[in-house]
Every structure is written in C-alpha cells, then in structure tokens.
C-alpha cells in the first residue's frame, strides 16, 4: 500500500523513488534519495562551492586563502598581480609602472598616456580631458608645450634645491608668503602681456592682409570678400603668425618669473634691513 502524500520523490531523472526519509543536497538544495544524495551520483553542478581545497600559487608555492563564494582561479591571478614575491611576477609588475594620476584610480598601464594640457599620466579610461576634469598645467587652466613644461620643472627643482640647502628661520618663512604672492602676480601679469602681444600681432597681420586684398577692387567685390573672410574665420580657427614660437615664449616667461622672484627677494632683504636699522635707532634713542 502506497501513501503518495507522505515523503518526497527523488529528483534524479532516472530514479523518481518515493522516499519517506528524503534528504536535501546542501549544494544545489534539491531532494534525493539515499542512493543519489552524493555529489557524484546526481552530478551536482553546485558542488564546487563546497570544495574546501586551498589553491597554491604556481610561481611561489604559497597557499592562497579563499572566502565563501570566491573563485580559485580569480584569487590566484589577483595574488600573482599584487602579492606574489616570485621573480617572474616581480618582473611583470615592473613593466606596468605607469600609474594613473586620477584620484582613487589604481590602474597601471604598459605605456605612458599623458595629457597634452596638464602633462599628467592617466590610464586609458581617464585619458581624455573631460574624464579626469583637466585643470590645465599646474591648475592654471592653460596648456603648455613639453619644452616649456620641462623648463618650468627644472626651474622649480633648482629653487627647491636652493631652499633646502639654506634652512630659513620662522621670520623668513613668514615673509616668504607675500613674496610668493608677488611672484605669482608678476607671472600672471607677464602671461597677460604675452597674450596681449599675440592678439595685437594677429590683428595687425589680418588688417594688413585685408588692405592688400582690397587694393584695386570694387565695393561689391570688397563686400563679397569680407563676407567670405568672416565665414572662413567662423568655420576655421585663426592661424597664428607670430614672430616668436611657443617654446621661445615659454622660455621667456620662465626667465621673467625667475627675474621677478629674484627682485622680490632683494626687495624683501632691503625691507628687513631697514626694519632692523629702525629698531637699532629706536633702542639708541
């Protein structure tokens, strides 16, 4: 006599036995009889989750601990990329030395990918200006050539070496703040002067070309040529016809900044000397 409402049927497709003491597989959560409860007997597809074997790194022979749900192959690959101390793994990590400058990004690329505007290295994901919120060279909002950036870096490194060799006192450090502000304002003024000179040279060149083109033409031809010139200026960026190249202007700007900072230091020394003389005269009186 059978009681179909009691017990459960085995989920093995070729068994379907009604078992009054059914068992559930702890990996796939299906019901099986006593003959098919083992992983191998019912070909359990989730049995890898219950595999408690510890994988070993093939390069350094170090056991790699796994957490619940982690895949062994992925953890071994992550160990080789970051923590493996074998010689092949170290050589592989040395190749990928171009770290992304984006805050929070730890990706390293095989080749350097530098931004033409700020001259920082980025990964392929953050290589565009909009992706890394580019603020220009040293947060100035302006782009600069490679030679100009190298000249400014050399100038800053030389200043850093000279400042580290001579340790300033507290009063000198306090007086250095207005000096830096003065040098920064002077550099901004020099940059504005260079931009004004470029604009004036471009305007003069355009006016001369227009006068030469208008010689011996009627009013209708002059008007048609002016309309054509305005359309070409709106569709294409104006070409720069300057006497100085971008590298020479950057070099002149760096020299002007150095001269302005030297003048500010001399002015600060004269002010300090005058204050000390005034203090001495007050003490004598």
**Domain at 37, CATH number:** 4.10.1110.10
| Residue 217: per-residue pLDDT | 60
| Residue 171: per-residue pLDDT | 43
| Residue 173: per-residue pLDDT | 40
Is the Cβ–Cβ distance between 10 and 33 less than 8 Å?
Answer: yes
Is the pTM higher than 0.75? The answer reads: no
| Helical axes 170-214 vs 246-284, angle rounded to 10° | 140
Number of domains in the chain: 2
Tell me, yes or no, whether 152 and 262 share the same domain. Answer: yes
- Compute the C-alpha angle 148/149/150, nearest 5°: 90
Reading the chain (285 residues) residue by residue, the pLDDT tens digits are: 556 667 788 888 888 888 788 888 888 888 888 888 888 888 888 887 776 778 888 888 888 888 877 888 888 888 887 778 877 777 666 656 778 888 888 777 777 888 888 888 888 888 888 888 888 877 777 777 776 667 776 777 776 655 554 444 444 444 444 444 444 454 555 566 666 766 776 666 666 555 655 555 666 666 677 777 766 665 555 444 445 667 777 778 788 888 878 888 888 888 888 888 777 776 665
Tell me, yes or no, whether 150 and 44 share the same domain. Answer: no
In a domain, 239, yes or no: yes
| Residue 182: per-residue pLDDT | 45
Tell me, yes or no, whether 260 and 151 share the same domain. Answer: yes
Distance CA 261, CA 252 (A): 14
In a domain, 195, yes or no: yes
| Residue 169: per-residue pLDDT | 44
In a domain, 219, yes or no: yes
Range(s) of the domain holding residue 18: 1-51
| Residue 45: per-residue pLDDT | 84
């Amino acid at each position: 006599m059978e009681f179909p409402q009691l017990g459960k049927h085995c989920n093995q497709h070729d068994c379907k036995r009604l078992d009054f003491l059914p068992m559930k597989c702890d990996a796939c959560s299906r019901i099986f009889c006593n003959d098919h409860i083992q992983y191998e007997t019912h070909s359990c597809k989730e049995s890898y989750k219950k595999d408690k074997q510890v994988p070993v790194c093939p390069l350094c022979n170090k056991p790699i601990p796994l957490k619940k749900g982690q895949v062994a192959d992925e953890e071994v690959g992550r160990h080789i990329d970051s923590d493996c101390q074998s010689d092949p793994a170290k050589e592989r990590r040395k190749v990928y030395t171009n770290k992304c400058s984006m805050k929070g990004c730890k990706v390293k690329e095989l080749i350097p990918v530098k931004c033409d505007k700020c001259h920082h290295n980025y990964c392929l994901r953050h290589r565009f200006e909009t992706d890394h919120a580019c603020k220009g060279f040293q947060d100035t909002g302006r782009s600069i050539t490679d030679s100009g950036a190298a000249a400014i870096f050399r100038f800053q490194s030389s200043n850093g070496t000279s400042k580290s060799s001579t340790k300033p006192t507290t009063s000198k450090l306090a007086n250095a703040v207005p000096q830096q502000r003065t040098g920064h304002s002077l550099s901004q003024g020099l940059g504005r002067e260079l931009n004004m000179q470029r604009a004036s040279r471009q305007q003069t060149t355009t006016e001369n070309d227009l006068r030469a083109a208008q010689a011996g033409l009627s009013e209708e031809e002059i008007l048609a040529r002016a309309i054509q010139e305005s359309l070409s200026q709106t569709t294409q960026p104006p070409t720069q016809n300057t006497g100085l190249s971008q590298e020479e202007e950057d070099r002149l700007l760096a020299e002007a900044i150095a001269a302005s900072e030297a003048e500010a230091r001399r002015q600060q020394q004269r002010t300090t000397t005058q204050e000390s003389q005034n203090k001495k005269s007050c003490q004598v009186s």
